[in-house]
Amino acid sequence: MKTVKHLSRAALIGGTALGLLAANGCAKECTDDGVTAVCGDFGSQRFSVDWLWGVRWPAVATQDSRLLVSSSDGLQEIDGQGESRMIQTFDQSAPADPWGVQTTASAPSMDDQGNAFLVVPNGEVQSFGDQGSQRRWAQAVGAGNAAAPPAVGQGVVHVPFVSVDRQGRDLVTLDAATGATLSTRTGASPPVVLADEGLIYMSDTEDCGASYRSVVVEDALGAVRFRHDEPSGVRDFAPGPDGEFYVVTGDRELRRLSADGSTDWTFTPDCMDCTVAGAPTVTADAIYFPVWEGEPPNTGCDDADPTSAEQPIEASDPLYALRRDGSVLWSYDGFTTLAQRYVDGQGTGGLLGFAMQQHVQHHPAGRPVVAADGTLFVPADGAIVALDPNGKELGYALFNPGRGAVGVNGNPDTTWMNSGTENAPVLGEDGRLYHFDGNSVRAFDTDKPAAKVPWSAPFGGSRNGSRLGG
């Protein structure tokens, strides 16, 4: 086993933000409609659709350039021109959760035949055929609220639920053709379906639901291959192509485990109060994940507000790229200067420039999606950044994040994005990139189709199927 730490910042960063500004000419190549600015080699904005409440993200990008989005009202379709319509309406009698918030549907997932699966607000699991337009079946499970999109196996779907007190977990397996319940795993997290139809998931919640005790790997028949326990708990995980997997420990380290559960290496950020914020996106050559400074959300039983976070004003919050052996390829921290660079290069930029000066103090990195040419599209609060495989900034899109839902505790003067799902971009097979900022769904034409990678965080790719290899 080996431990991998930061190199010096100067040695790691693929290019300084201000240097890239001049080298790439981003400031001279921007379009700005007062709401969204697109700079450099990023693509062009196709459309923007506003939503006010209840969207569950990520959406599913279909093969015919449509987007399926679930909300509190129903399953909606957005076509290639940005026109939306409701294709399925949900039961509105669902109870509120213990905090008085009306529950909503899960994000959808889709199999290779175009069948969609999701959990609706009344707790039913429903399936729709023909790209979401025809209802196939509905199964009352009653296990709590949806924890993630259903994971799609061969002839089965694995549906994760969280109890109303947000501490209990159940993973219910249903027949994909009929909806019949086949099995229930108590205490299990949202899973990943492996290439041989086995499963990997976290098990046995600890610390008021903030972490799990173990990672469990099963074979296709449901027999446990092995169980790996972490002394500090497990907060997140991602599968790899060779049977290995990656876990974010309770101490916020990133650990690679071999196919038999033994530890290969550990990456530990050595900057002050730094944490690995989420399990990585995994390609054939590299793994990509965010590192944040300060206290992240949901630290456990002692956290009075699991949705809030504490961060220093000057936090850098970089994206890291590691080789598969755990050594560092590069680190990019240009997120911190995006707003100021844009304002410096473009003047006040009208309403957008003013909003960015007022509301963006930094942009914490999220987990990227990967295009077939190796381009990374990395989400952050109020931004998406395009990087080449060497960590060089190619371009970016900026939008006004000055709304209460973005800020910590509803304060728009601070920002903290969700490393897991809430602003994960969706890159379709046609090269269209979608992003949801809590208020608007934006589509960009990048001309860069999604790559077939072993694991695209958080749910395996543009269909949310939670399958190794997409």
- Look at residue 419 in the predicted model and tell me its pLDDT: 43
Residue 460 located in a structural domain: no
Nearest by Cα to 147 from 100, 93, 205, 90: 205
Residues 6+ apart with CB under 8 A from 11: none
Give residue 211's domain range: 2-445
Residue 208 located in a structural domain: yes
Residue 457 located in a structural domain: no
- Look at residue 27 in the predicted model and tell me its pLDDT: 44
Residue 464 located in a structural domain: no
Cα(137)–Cα(207) distance, rounded to whole angstroms? 37
Residue 127 located in a structural domain: yes
| Ramachandran class of 469: left when φ > 0, alpha when ψ lies in -120 to 50, beta otherwise | left
Give 187-200 pLDDT, tens digit per residue. Answer: 899 999 999 999 99
pLDDT of 373 > 90? The answer is yes
Residue 153 located in a structural domain: yes
- Find tokens 């509105």 and name the residue: 92
Highest average pLDDT, of 83-92, 161-170, 418-427, comes from 83-92
Angstrom distances, CA of residue 201 to CA of 10, 158, 224 = 37, 11, 11
Output the six-digit token pair for 283. Answer: 């390609």
Cα(339)–Cα(351) distance, rounded to whole angstroms? 13
Nearest by Cα to 151 from 213, 106, 210, 105: 106
Give 343's pLDDT tier (boundaries 50, 70, 90). confident
**Percentage of the residues of the chain whose pLDDT score is greater than 90:** 46
Give 159's pLDDT tier (boundaries 50, 70, 90). very high
Higher pLDDT, 244 or 72: 244
Residue 246 located in a structural domain: yes
- Look at residue 428 in the predicted model and tell me its pLDDT: 94
**What average pLDDT does range 308-333 have in this prediction?**
81
pLDDT of 9 > 70? The answer is no
Higher pLDDT, 74 or 417: 74
Give 405's pLDDT tier (boundaries 50, 70, 90). very low
Q: Are the C-beta atoms of residues 78 and 51 closer than 8 Å to each other?
A: no
- Look at residue 105 in the predicted model and tell me its pLDDT: 78
- Look at residue 385 in the predicted model and tell me its pLDDT: 93
| Sequence letter at residue 466 | S
Give 53-68 pLDDT, tens digit per residue. Answer: 678 889 999 878 899 9
Give 22-56 pLDDT, tens digit per residue. Answer: 334 344 488 888 778 899 999 999 999 887 567 88
**Percentage of the residues of the chain whose pLDDT score is greater than 70:** 74
| Sequence letter at residue 100 | G
- Find tokens 């509120």 and name the residue: 96
Cα(372)–Cα(391) distance, rounded to whole angstroms? 16
Give 274-294 pLDDT, tens digit per residue. Answer: 888 888 999 999 999 988 877
Question: In b/e form, how buried is each residue of 310-346, taking b as 16+ CB within 10 angstroms?
Answer: ebeeebbbbbbbbebebebbbbbbbbbbbbebbbebb
Residue 271 located in a structural domain: yes
Give 466's pLDDT tier (boundaries 50, 70, 90). very high
**What average pLDDT does range 118-143 have in this prediction?**
84
Highest average pLDDT, of 24-28, 361-365, 378-382, comes from 378-382
**Residue 110, domain CATH:** 2.130.10.10
- Look at residue 433 in the predicted model and tell me its pLDDT: 97
- The mean of the pLDDT values for the chain is 80
How many domains, the chain? 1
